[in-house]
Amino acid sequence: MKFKDGYWRMRPGVRGDYATAAHDVTADAASLRVLAPTRPITRRGNTIDGPVLRVDLSSPMPDVIRVRAVHFAGSVPAAPVFEVRDEAPAVKIVVDGEEASLTSGALTVKVRRDLPWEMSFSADGRELTRSAGKSLGIMHDADERHFMVEQLRLSAGELVYGLGERFGALVRNGQSVDIWNDDGGTSSEMAYKNIPFYLTNRGYGVFVNHPGRVSFEVGSETVSRVQFSTESHDLEYLIIHGPTPAEILRRYTALTGRPALPPAWSFGLWLSTSFTTDYDEATVASFVDGMAERGLPLSVFHFDCFWMRQFRWCDFEWDPEVFPDPAGMIARLKERGLRVCLWLNPYIGQASALFDEGAAAGHLLRRADGSVWQDDHWQAGRAVVDFTSPAAREWYADKLRGLLDMGVDAFKTDFGERIPTDVVYADGSDPERMHNYYSLLYNQTVHDVLAERRGAGEAVLFARAATVGGQRLPVHWGGDCESTFEAMAESLRGGLSLGLAGFGFWSHDIGGFEGRPDPAVFKRWVAFGLLSSHSRLHGSGSYRVPWLFDEESVDVLRSFTRWKLRLMPYLYGAAVQATHEGLPMMRAMHLEFPGDRACDHLDAQYMLGPDLLVAPVLSADGDISYYVPDGVWTRLLDGETVTGPGWRTERHGFDSLPLLVRPGAVLATGARADRPDYDYADGVTLTAYQLADGASRTVTVPAVDGGAGAVFEVSRSGDRVHARRLQGAPAPWNLRYAGVDGAAAPGIDHIEITLSSKE
């Protein structure tokens, strides 16, 4: 939200009161408390009739400093609040006549004790950012609304990333961003997944710990500052030191939670009925048969909204006219090795029998007068489940248990953004703060019942809305996009941005959601989709089975699906890393190459895990320009090498795209290409790429449950490459280097191959 009219003046009706100095400072063993009046105190009379901010400084974990500014403490709602880890680490506190400081790890905050107000953050002797004059304060607008505001300095050349799944330019400088979940598609400034966390290329991140609307002006009101404001009486933010983007993400996700590991089967290909298409069991069977007949490996079948009767979403009852035997149908799908996913939302249409049941039991959101809140958006007479009520959560979960007992494996938790604020919650939560937070309670309820019935390692969602902490409940997908190359590009930007907010797993609708994609769009999107964390064919008014586009689409889908399944030892290893470290599977180039300024703005290519560079082709003719970082990279699809740093322009057929292996990588590929869940270590191939003389890599091939299935060490000495198994059962495995092969039988723990004089 902008408060100023230019740099000097306020907008009409707006007035501001800013911290002027740290007039009074007290300390204990773990924190500093600063009283910051909003006018200079030159005599005792100045202490009367004016606002004073209380600023508390503390540390929840090493290299993280918490700042909490409060105006009227009695006006701060108690709920909801984000769960933030607090280790209470040892800190160093110094208070003298000129300044007060608190140090946690390598990060220090200093508060100047004289005019003007100045609070600076530094690490390893280098200032990261600061809150200077007219930065921290209170704002009132023409309607007498009360805001807390802070501005942190942006240095010359400093770039800002993050703030959730946003579909515009990856670098946020110059943007105005409201953290407010909304159903705006992928072509607007709205977002389904808003996260009040950003990081910069100067070695730090900022997490604004407020669950409601947070308005960011990223160099857009004052171009040399990031401003954030909340309509509240308190403002808490945490400065997180890196110095690398990866280390910032590790610390941020240590604070707010890391993703659960999705089951291995979820990484295979998902096929949907699509949304408003006509379908019944015969349609479903024809799709499944068609995939099998064409040799297209399929892992999950998804039933979208109309598995239930019209006007009755959600009543959790199959439509008997089109699915007269749902239990039998699910059993028949299971016999073919498929998992089953069903669509859900958190709303109850008035025509549903559950409306009266939920209203009578108090499970639905109510207005202040006690009546059930309703409108006619999405479903006629729509009401909203009140997930702050434990009884309502159990009621909703119990409806899902019946479906799980029928054989359902996963749920697509759609919506969760259209949450009203003119309501009363069962637990008394503030409705403005609940608007974004609602998505967390909704997804947590569904994830918990899946874990209860299927086991923690088998729980997986396909969720659309999210807030801070939502990363713990994968998987999320990008929402409603058009079926165009432009929408494909904006979807990719959204996924990379979400990854920079700690979300390890992300998907999108292959081919786009709205409209019927041109065959060229579909085929290019297939390659992108199968080189994403999760891969789903889904649309709105048209089916997404490939033979409805052209026969080449079938071949392209087969090729890239099989590639993904063979890459599962590597991909599942990246998934395990996401759960342990908070690093996303799909990584913005800046995350992996923070020292390469050419990567700072790249948002049309990415790293899939640490070692694969992917550049989706965003044109029908196959022309693409992409950037290659330093070193000799190898094209995975044909074995040719590409030398960086520099830009390359190429033309690719529909069966190809730039897919490069990082120099020095040892890529583990599996022996199967028909399913995603298999013994990855049995017959695994370890391929070393441009491994330097004297270099060594340890490669962990995960088990299908996420444990360490096998561990290998691969090293090079002169013209010989050595590999030995350090851990794991004796199973056959293979070693390759630039096309030179070596193989071992079961029980053989060492392979050595000799390179030619020229690699």
Residue 73: CB partners within 8 Å, gap ≥ 6? 54, 233, 234
In the set 118, 247, 480, 611, the catalytic residue is 480
pLDDT tops 90 at residue 742: no
User: Among this protein's residues, is 417 annotated catalytic?
Assistant: yes
Residues 512/484, Cβ–Cβ less than 8 Å: yes
Strand, coil or helix: what is 111?
Answer: strand
In the set 409, 414, 430, 509, the catalytic residue is 414
Mean pLDDT over 704-725 rounds to 93
Q: pLDDT for 204-241, tens place per residue?
A: 999 999 999 999 999 999 999 999 999 999 999 999 99
pLDDT tops 90 at residue 52: yes
User: Among this protein's residues, is 480 annotated catalytic?
Assistant: yes
How do beta strands 696-702 and 708-717 pair? antiparallel
Per-residue pLDDT band for 758 (boundaries 50, 70, 90) equals very low
pLDDT tops 50 at residue 451: yes
Mean pLDDT over 625-648 rounds to 97
pLDDT score for 130: 98
β-pair partners for 4:
10
**Beta-strand (E) ranges in 38-140?**
52-61, 64-70, 92-95, 99-104, 107-112, 119-123, 126-131, 137-140
Per-residue pLDDT band for 694 (boundaries 50, 70, 90) equals very high
Strand, coil or helix: what is 755?
Answer: coil
Q: Give CA–CA dist 701/726, Å, rounded.
A: 11
pLDDT tops 90 at residue 759: no
pLDDT score for 746: 73
pLDDT score for 739: 77
Q: pLDDT for 672-689, tens place per residue?
A: 999 999 999 999 999 999
The residues spanned by each domain of the chain are 14-256, 300-321+339-474, 587-658, 679-754
Q: pLDDT for 328-370, tens place per residue?
A: 999 999 999 999 999 999 999 999 999 999 999 999 999 999 9
The CATH architecture of the domain made up of 300-321+339-474 is: Alpha-Beta Barrel (3.20)
pLDDT over 90 percentage in the chain? 94
Of 298, 290, 300, 295, nearest to 262 (Cα)? 300
Q: pLDDT for 164-211, tens place per residue?
A: 999 999 999 999 999 999 999 999 999 999 999 999 999 999 999 999
pLDDT score for 233: 97
**Do the first three CATH levels of 587-658 and 679-754 match, i.e. the same topology?**
yes
pLDDT score for 283: 97
Q: Give CA–CA dist 204/206, Å, rounded.
A: 7
Q: pLDDT for 388-420, tens place per residue?
A: 999 999 999 999 999 999 999 999 999 999 999
Q: Give CA–CA dist 497/503, Å, rounded.
A: 9
Q: How many residues does the chain have?
A: 759
Q: Give CA–CA dist 668/615, Å, rounded.
A: 21
Q: What is the CATH number of domain 587-658?
A: 2.60.40.1180
Q: Tell me how many degrees the CA angle 653-656-658 measures, rounded to the nearest 5.
A: 120
pLDDT tops 80 at residue 380: yes
How do beta strands 194-200 and 204-208 pair? antiparallel
Q: How does the average pLDDT of the chain come out, rounded?
A: 96
In the set 417, 430, 509, 611, the catalytic residue is 417
Q: pLDDT for 563-622, tens place per residue?
A: 999 999 999 999 999 999 999 999 999 999 999 999 999 999 999 999 999 999 999 999
Q: pLDDT for 585-595, tens place per residue?
A: 999 999 999 99
Q: Give CA–CA dist 522/557, Å, rounded.
A: 10
Q: Does domain 14-256 have CATH number 2.60.40.10?
A: no
Q: What is the CATH number of domain 679-754?
A: 2.60.40.1180
Contacts for 389-396 with beta carbons within 8 Å, 24 or more apart? 389/362, 389/363, 389/426, 389/427, 391/361, 391/362, 391/363, 392/358, 392/361, 392/362, 392/363, 392/364, 392/426, 393/441, 393/445, 395/358, 395/361, 395/363, 396/346, 396/363, 396/445
pLDDT over 70 percentage in the chain? 100
User: Among this protein's residues, is 414 annotated catalytic?
Assistant: yes
